[in-house]
């Protein structure tokens, strides 16, 4: 069973050692404009995975795909397979998601 805390819009807010990336919910990041303009993703209960990036021209880009979860590993899939990704959930609570 998937932890319901995972279903959120996550914004990249930092990195730790050993390649761990730190994300916070978008609502928590709204007070800091720089954080809301960084990359992020949204995980929905219906299986939808939305990746948010900033183009080289500075415009926000949104890509819609789907995901699968096996244990602590989440795999996301898109029509453009170059966007596919896989990560391991290291930590999760109401305020932070850490992945590697």
From residue 85, alpha-carbon distances to 31, 66, 80 in Å are 29, 11, 11
Q: What is the pLDDT of residue 28?
A: 75
Domain range for 66 is 4-99
pTM for the model stands at 0.87
| Tens of pLDDT, residues 18-67 | 889 999 999 876 565 554 457 899 999 999 999 999 988 989 899 999 99
Does the structure show a pLDDT above 90 at 9? yes
Lookup: tokens for 4: 């319901």
**Contacts (Cβ under 8 Å, ≥6 apart) of 8:** 25, 26, 42, 43, 97
CATH of the domain at 80: 2.40.128.280
Q: What is the mean pLDDT of the chain?
A: 90
- In this prediction, residue 27 carries a pLDDT of 81
Residue found by looking up tokens 């916070």 in the block: 24
What pLDDT is recorded for position 35?
Answer: 45
Total tally of structural domains belonging to the chain: 1
Six-digit token pair at 16?
A: 């730790």
């Amino acid at each position: 069973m998937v932890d319901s805390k995972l279903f959120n819009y996550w914004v990249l807010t930092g990195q730790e050692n050993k390649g761990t990336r730190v994300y916070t919910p978008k609502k928590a990041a709204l007070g800091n404009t720089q954080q809301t303009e960084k990359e992020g993703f949204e995980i929905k209960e219906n299986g939808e995975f939305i990746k948010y990036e900033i183009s080289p021209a500075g415009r926000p880009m949104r890509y819609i795909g789907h995901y699968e979860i096996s244990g602590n590993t989440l795999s996301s899939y898109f029509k453009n397979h170059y966007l596919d990704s896989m990560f391991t959930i290291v930590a999760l609570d109401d305020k932070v998601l850490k992945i590697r």
